[in-house]
Amino acid sequence: MRLHVGNAVGATPLVEITKLDIPDGIRVFAKLEFLNPGGSIKDRMVKYILDHAERVGALQPGATIVENTSGNTGAAIAMFAAERGYRAILTMPDKVSQEKQNVLRAMGAQTIVCPTAVRPDSPEHYVETARRLHREIPGSFMLNQYDNPLNAEAHFHTTGPEIWEALGGRITAFVSSGSTGGTISGIGGYLRSKNPDIHVVLLDPVGSIYHKYFHEGVVDPREIAAYHVEGVGEDHLAKCMDFSVLTNVIRFNDRNAIQMCHELARKEGLLCGGSSGANIWGCIEVAKALKPPAVIVTVLPDSGAKYVSKIYNADWLAEQRFADGSSATVSMRSPAPSDA
């Protein structure tokens, strides 16, 4: 049997976080998704959607793949496009790190950088730019990661079962940030299908709309603001985000995530991206609200190697003024269908 890049996607290790300030009787585990061949958790979703598109004939040989991305989905697309003979055109907001942009170009993808600080319906927005290119390029294929149910399905059938089996079903809570919603909806949906008492907690950055939408049922444009952590939060409701799976949503800020990145590096030897820092910060916040014994699990979506010019750059850190913001107060509610 010939082995392809796709054969290396998934089956990532799960490690326990032991050196941080975690309450007694609470165990925290993290799945090292940055060990996928494309360097992030997005390899799973991209492979799943491309495999499906090829099976049903939606993606023809030599076609152009167009997608909007914060970098990691783009890296996975560029990797598979290079291997399978497709052209890739990727649009992204200008806050995406230079490392991520360079990786995409190195693998032959065309990148189009769009302004971050524009309205979601602006023709300059990176999502709208990708949609326009998809309409204009004959025979092109767009993954549509924000609204494609296959995004969450990929994690329901792969990441979720891997976590469940690795921990023998002994899981109290799954905690993760999200943007498209695929990771938390898929993993959370699988885990709750096995045990509906599992808490599924979304971490949402200040500047995103998900927190208020979950708690109040409204989208408030005044909530939308710029933040530095990439690949998390959103300025519009992604159809892939299944709020019925969630049992709580708590807020974090850039400082919460970035400080935790440095703690993970120095205390656990894990050099991770900003969303990973947010995820571990959220696990510790949730741990404070749980009665021991309890097991919390999360994912570390990508590597800090993609953010050396930002998160791990002393000059960049000195230039930024992060809002302090008080830590979220977490109240763990019993999972119920009305949590949607």
Question: Can you tell me whether residue 186 is helix, strand or coil?
Answer: helix
* Pairing mode of beta strands 14-17, 26-32: antiparallel
Helix H or strand E encompassing 173? strand 173-177
Handedness of CA 130, 79, 52, 195 (dihedral sign): negative
Q: What is the pLDDT along the chain (340 residues), one digit of tens a residue?
A: 667 888 999 999 999 999 999 999 999 999 999 999 999 999 999 999 999 999 999 999 999 999 998 789 999 999 999 999 999 999 998 988 888 889 899 999 999 999 988 888 899 999 899 999 999 999 999 999 999 999 999 999 999 999 999 999 999 999 999 999 999 999 999 999 999 999 999 999 999 999 999 999 999 999 999 999 999 999 999 999 999 999 999 999 999 999 999 999 999 999 999 999 999 999 999 999 999 999 999 999 999 999 999 999 988 998 987 434 334 445 554 443 333 2
- The whole-angstrom separation of Cα 107 and Cα 38 is 11
Q: In this structure, are residues 163 and 297 in contact, taking their beta carbons and an 8 Å threshold?
A: yes
The catalytic position among 19, 31, 42, 288 is 42
pTM: 0.92
What the chain holds in terms of domains, given with CATH numbers, is: 5-35+156-318 (3.40.50.1100), 42-142 (3.40.50.1100)
- The whole-angstrom separation of Cα 119 and Cα 103 is 27
- The whole-angstrom separation of Cα 340 and Cα 202 is 12
Q: Say whether 42 is catalytic.
A: yes
